[in-house]
Structure 1
């Protein structure tokens, strides 16, 4: 049975990803087979997990997924020696209203699967108070098992000693303490970490993180504290309908935000995925019956996309007879224009009338439940789609027929309805699952 752990923290930015990658690589270097997961709707961290372990990582999310879907996704770890699930935000942070099987909190996954939590604590500017925070998290929810803590960014041996003593008095095991170490900092941008495929030195960075963590953390003690988990057979597989039989999928640095479980579900349903690169001025495969433009960073490449006339004309030609769908950044590229952070407007494909701007950044973040008012590839009117929205663009115009009535996690209707015109559709949210 695999040894299973959840890596979490009191808040974002404490070092969960770095510790997860370091532990995964350190145990892999020992010859262990490590499987990672990501709790919550994050499309960047799973690629880092795959780089560290050599195995594909997928998201598990309690707001958008039911128990059966989560059980199906985690069953891939049956042949692993170690399972690591990286949390999102703080351990108990989710939304106010419960979704399919929870609020989206990491604690939901830990309790549902019975995986103990290793807490990453950054005691900067604290000493004994760090123990109070850890003890509060340990005792907050009875169904969540607590393994112990790893301290990160300790200032000095004296600082470490003060925090360790307080944690020991609270009955909390300390697996190790990490001094500050700039060489293992992962670069970031406005939507989170810079993607793994954009970092040529990612392997060396993970190796250094593994070496550093192995030097300061008792890896054997962490494994000893892990749960022994026996995967349960899922009654159903993934609740995802492919958008077509042969899917032309935009895939490059501007179009990379695709949940791995979505692609797996499409293939499992018999669909064939044919990637193409808009940044390389490529066009959708002529034999495809649908084109899908995922999210990513089109705002960083808007000038190149606008200049790639072959891509834009090819996309328009494809949409004359077949469906084209865009998610978030892909939706923006289907629109009429995109204004970048410098205030320069770039002409997009014009399949939709959407105008977006990054000149005045406005964060849109949260779970979304969409009730389709019109069809989109793979889904008929009335379908209830669950997903997640995360971008910093401002909508200047959204003039086309609304695609859906979209609610946030509280049930409030929001303005980002998505659009439909002819064969083109687009949404600001990234699809994760369809309600059964």
Structure 2
């Protein structure tokens, strides 16, 4: 089966893309439609909500970090067992980084490469007929990107909705729905975005409400009809080779930031992924030959991690003979100490010598290009990778470990050496998405 696809985008963040996406996915699933929801750009949290709403694994497509052939392969695989692929954009439709054309990270790159139509979500709070000028600008900005429909958000009244919709209708672009202002439809947030799906106190009920909301206010038949075929990809979808044959993956509320395309690629390459929970005081399984500590929210669980004796002893023993790698939050736990938001210091694994603090916050956000300075679970020395950073934690003591990567930002500006490595242990705040 080859699905049809479309992109839900907006002029800016906070316009209602996630609310609309989750609602539409849930409403269509009720109808028996097989929907695969995808997030454009680097994001761990939204795909977990997508998975809960669709009943299918979340997925990311990223035009900056992923080679074009990988995007084609992943999009084709997403379409294999689906009727409709819905891609939710990040930020604004055309927002990305200056650099190589068609590899900016903007959802517009995906629309152009995959030939997918765009549904523009327009927050009309504070204006009405002027919304048509915004739509006109987006529709004519890039000839390779087709705005195929509009959904209004935060309409205050029938009159407000009519004023905006009549002006937009004159452009010849279909109005697919209008969402009234509804505070109950928003999802709770914390410092890195939405509260994780697994932590939402009433996720099933909230998703059901979003599905009701979309079914009532969106023309689902018209939305499905504008979808374009998603072509099957020819290349195998392996972003980064697996770090071992049998990989111990930390997975719980403290370690939840893993990309589905990475894990699927490891399995496709013949590796087995075995999960364990540090918060449940579990050690990495002895029969594994590599260990991966992903990012997440260890700063919220410092005391529990510090007192998890089986986890700590198991990690120390594992690292004597087998490679261990930590990304972002995992990197923080590999260090000596972690200072939480209340300025309480917790002893961590001390497999690397750095100390980190969430109390002394500084936002680090953006795409990254990395070159490995030595062999590691990420690949041999010299391997070039693309990914991102998104964290508030800071390194308060660097220690004397050797650095792991030479880092540059999304535009190629050098940022110096980063991360740490000692023996078989390595880590960095850098999240890898794919090899260049």
TM-score bucket (shorter structure): over 0.9
Contact preservation (8 Å) 1:72, 1:238: no
Pair 1:392-2:375 in alignment: no
Contact preservation (8 Å) 1:334, 1:350: yes
Pair 1:34-2:35 in alignment: yes
Alignment match, 2:371: 371
Contact preservation (8 Å) 2:338, 2:355: yes
Deviation at 1:309, TM superposition (A): 2.3
Alignment match, 1:180: 181
Alignment match, 1:135: 136
* Partner of residue 83 from structure 1, selected from 60, 74, 85: 85
What secondary structure is seen at the aligned counterpart in 2 of 1:402?
A: coil
Deviation at 1:200, TM superposition (A): 4.4
Q: Deviations over 1:105-161 (max 9, x none)?
A: 000001111110001111111122222112111111000011111111111222212
What secondary structure is seen at the aligned counterpart in 2 of 1:414?
A: strand
Pair 1:234-2:234 in alignment: yes
Contact preservation (8 Å) 1:244, 1:378: no
Alignment match, 1:284: 284
Alignment match, 2:151: 150
Q: Which moved more, 1:326-335 or 1:215-224?
A: 215-224
- Separation in structure 2 between the aligned mates of residue 294 and residue 128 of structure 1, nearest angstrom: 47
- Separation in structure 1 between the aligned mates of residue 337 and residue 62 of structure 2, nearest angstrom: 33
- Separation in structure 1 between the aligned mates of residue 303 and residue 235 of structure 2, nearest angstrom: 48
Deviation at 1:186, TM superposition (A): 1.1
- Separation in structure 1 between the aligned mates of residue 316 and residue 233 of structure 2, nearest angstrom: 45
- Separation in structure 1 between the aligned mates of residue 233 and residue 394 of structure 2, nearest angstrom: 44
Alignment match, 2:111: 110
Unpaired stretches in structure 1, ≥5 consecutive residues: none
Q: Deviations over 1:310-349 (max 9, x none)?
A: 2112211211121111000000000111111111111111
- Separation in structure 2 between the aligned mates of residue 82 and residue 308 of structure 1, nearest angstrom: 44
- Separation in structure 2 between the aligned mates of residue 98 and residue 376 of structure 1, nearest angstrom: 28
Alignment match, 2:193: 192
- Relative distance call for 1:163 and 1:84 in structure 2 (3 A) is same
After superposition, where does 1:270-309 map in structure 2 within 5 Å?
270-309=270-309
- Relative distance call for 1:330 and 1:220 in structure 2 (3 A) is same
- Separation in structure 2 between the aligned mates of residue 328 and residue 415 of structure 1, nearest angstrom: 17
Alignment match, 2:356: 356
What secondary structure is seen at the aligned counterpart in 1 of 2:187?
A: coil
Deviation at 1:230, TM superposition (A): 4.2
- Separation in structure 1 between the aligned mates of residue 331 and residue 41 of structure 2, nearest angstrom: 22
Deviation at 1:396, TM superposition (A): 1.1
Query: How many residues end up aligned between the 2 structures?
Result: 433
Alignment match, 1:381: 381
Unpaired stretches in structure 2, ≥5 consecutive residues: none
- Separation in structure 1 between the aligned mates of residue 226 and residue 378 of structure 2, nearest angstrom: 44
- Separation in structure 1 between the aligned mates of residue 71 and residue 268 of structure 2, nearest angstrom: 16
What secondary structure is seen at the aligned counterpart in 2 of 1:395?
A: strand
- Separation in structure 2 between the aligned mates of residue 377 and residue 368 of structure 1, nearest angstrom: 18
- Separation in structure 2 between the aligned mates of residue 233 and residue 314 of structure 1, nearest angstrom: 41
Q: TM-score, length-normalised on structure 1?
A: 0.96
Q: After the TM superposition, list the runs of 4 or more consecutive aligned residues in structure 1 that deviate by more than 6 angstroms.
A: none
What secondary structure is seen at the aligned counterpart in 2 of 1:95?
A: coil
Deviation at 1:169, TM superposition (A): 2.5
Q: Which moved more, 1:192-201 or 1:282-291?
A: 192-201
What secondary structure is seen at the aligned counterpart in 1 of 2:415?
A: coil
Q: Which moved more, 1:79-88 or 1:325-334?
A: 79-88
Contact preservation (8 Å) 1:370, 1:386: yes
Q: Which moved more, 1:411-420 or 1:90-99?
A: 411-420
Contact preservation (8 Å) 1:249, 1:274: yes
Contact preservation (8 Å) 2:37, 2:85: yes
* Partner of residue 94 from structure 1, selected from 93, 96, 99: 96
Deviation at 1:416, TM superposition (A): 6.2
